[in-house]
Amino acid sequence: MSMFCFQCQEAAGGRGCSVRGVCGKTPIQAKLQDLLIYSLKGIAVYGALLRPTGDIEERVDYFTLNSLFMTITNANFDDETLYEQVRAAVEIRDELKEICDEKGLIPDEKYNHLYTPSKDFKNKEEILGALAEKAGVMRNSDEDVRSLKEMITYGLKGMSAYTEHAYHLGFKNPEISAFIEKALLAVEDYFISAEDLVALTLEAGKFGVDAMALLDKANTESYGHPEITKVNIGVGNKPGILISGHDLRDMEQLLEQSQGSGVDIYTHSEMLPAHYYPAFKKYDHFVGNYGGSWWHQTKEFETFNGPVLFTSNCIVPPRGNGLTYKDRVFTTNSAGMDGCTHITKNLEGKKDFTSVIEAAKKCSPPTEIETGEIIGGFAHNQVFALADKVVDAVKSGAIKKFVVMAGCDARMQDRKYYEDFAKALPKDTVILTAGCAKYRYNKLNLGDIGGIPRVLDAGQCNDSYSLAVIAMKLQEIFGLDDINDLPIAYNIAWYEQKAVIVLLALLHLGVKNIHLGPTLPAFLSPNVVSVLVENFGIAGITDVDNDMKIFGIK
């Protein structure tokens, strides 16, 4: 059984994975994910007709968000879960079709092919043949059309991730779901023009901004604005639970339920910014961050000794090498891995993490792998509080340049570029970061400028929104007509689809001359790359010295 996937930066050979995903995704999982997205388009056919009548339930919108999130790189490696999600999608589609039939609402004939698969399919093998091929990436023969449609689809995946996290905190925006529905149908329209696809791509950027703004509001109204915080990277002498992923509602419930249990809670990778929120600081057993970015987990989960809770993507399936931690991995939300316990909500919408806590009590404390502290919490509200200090430093020349180095980290050797770039920056530059890309340089001793740390960590990848808000505030303070006149360079690392929606959001906000690396996306055709270069100044990276010159950094 073959597959084809080129949605992440580690696409094999810079072209695409056709035997097995570099991420660990199997051909069956790849085909089930393709088929799940295809089935969501069937839901969209009828959802688009029913939305104006008010007959779309929230559960349908959430199902779409959650399903798209499942297909993000490193999110779900559980065949059975993906298979059941496809079955559920078909059932929801057929429910909506019945309502449309009752109301006399008839979909456009060009979407007739989406009335497959049938809810009568009996097993995986039945749906993993010709139908899965029809649902795959290569169904579009025109390279440029395929490129634009896939870029939109990957933007929807990232948008869904951020919207789902906000949803868990009770913050919703039906307009985002309506756009996702519209875009899912557009990419399945065989007659749509390339010009309309370009316009839709930019519209996706607009809704990407809305999604990140929604999540920012959800997080800050629920837990307070992030504040400057020093985070311990050592360990205590009690058993621990390591929480990974991105979902702060899960963090809150785990902290509440583990209080007084004798178990400490540690963050991993993108959960590090949870330490910056005031609401979580009241928990004495919330003791620190363990390890680095997501791809180090096969080593760090072994030495952590306790259970690991994945609240979203960034899973690396352990393969061989005597790794023993898989039995200690728990998943929830969109995350999944074959053989691991998955925790779901009860009827009241809450989760019971007792099994995780009880498992931790039987484990040894974490093995110490480093000591010290790292500092973060520089989201927009905190930076605004320092605005006078920052502006004075810019006016005096103490700060000559800001470099946005947000985005993703990953395992390939060429990622060392970002560490080398950070080290080479002159002492009058400040790094603005968000996402796990920061692990390439947030433990370096880069010093400060008049008390302002030279690495300002805004938080998770979705907090790239904070960096955009900061840029717009600086534009206002300095009275500039164009955001691109600010002394800010954009050297962004990408890996998966949340980085795609962040990029589209920045383009929507008018940011130009973004450098993207370590390689440009494999899903971008040469002609689409030319459009991005010509209209937005998108570029790749070269080497540190040359890129310094390009950015005008001396």
Sheet with 514-517, side-by-side order of all strands: 455-457, 429-433, 401-404, 488-493, 514-517
CATH class label, 1-139: mainly alpha
Look at residue 257 and tell me whether its pLDDT is greater than 60. Answer: yes
Q: Are strands 373-376 and 229-232 parallel, antiparallel or unpaired?
A: antiparallel
The stretch 30-40 carries a mean pLDDT of: 93
pLDDT score recorded for residue 329 = 97
Q: Which of 225, 228, 226 has the alpha carbon at shortest distance from 452? A: 228
pLDDT score recorded for residue 105 = 96
Q: Which of 58, 53, 55, 7 has the alpha carbon at shortest distance from 30? A: 7
Cα separation of 248 and 61, whole Å? 21
pLDDT score recorded for residue 170 = 96
The stretch 427-454 carries a mean pLDDT of: 96
The stretch 214-220 carries a mean pLDDT of: 98
Q: In percent, how much of the chain has pLDDT > 70?
A: 97
pLDDT score recorded for residue 433 = 97
Structure tokens given for 214: 């929604």
The stretch 197-209 carries a mean pLDDT of: 97
Report the DSSP beta bridge partners of residue 248.
none
pLDDT score recorded for residue 115 = 77
Q: Which of 499, 500, 507 has the alpha carbon at shortest distance from 531? A: 507
Q: Which fold has domain 143-228+377-554?
A: Rossmann fold (3.40.50)
CATH 3.40.50.2030 fits 230-361, yes or no: yes
Cα separation of 60 and 158, whole Å? 18
The stretch 284-302 carries a mean pLDDT of: 97
Look at residue 129 and tell me whether its pLDDT is greater than 70. Answer: no
Look at residue 1 and tell me whether its pLDDT is greater than 60. Answer: no
Q: Which of 24, 36, 22 has the alpha carbon at shortest distance from 70? A: 36
pLDDT tens for residues 86-125?
989 999 999 999 999 999 999 999 988 887 777 666 666 6
Torsion, CA 252, CA 253, CA 254, CA 259, rounded to 10: 90
Structure tokens given for 400: 């000559």
Look at residue 126 and tell me whether its pLDDT is greater than 80. Answer: no
In the chain, the N- to C-terminal Cα span, in Å, equals 52
The stretch 5-17 carries a mean pLDDT of: 96
Cα separation of 46 and 105, whole Å? 9
Q: What are phi and psi of 336, to 5 degrees?
A: -170, 145
The two domains 143-228+377-554 and 230-361 share their CATH topology (first three levels equal):
yes
pLDDT score recorded for residue 321 = 67
What are the C-alpha distances in Å from 195 to residues 63, 149, 153, 198?
30, 12, 16, 5
Whether the Cβ atoms of residue 397 and residue 419 lie closer than 8 Å to each other: no
Cα separation of 310 and 223, whole Å? 20
Domain boundaries defined on the chain: 1-139, 143-228+377-554, 230-361
Look at residue 320 and tell me whether its pLDDT is greater than 90. Answer: no
Whether the Cβ atoms of residue 461 and residue 435 lie closer than 8 Å to each other: yes
- Single-letter residue type at 218: A
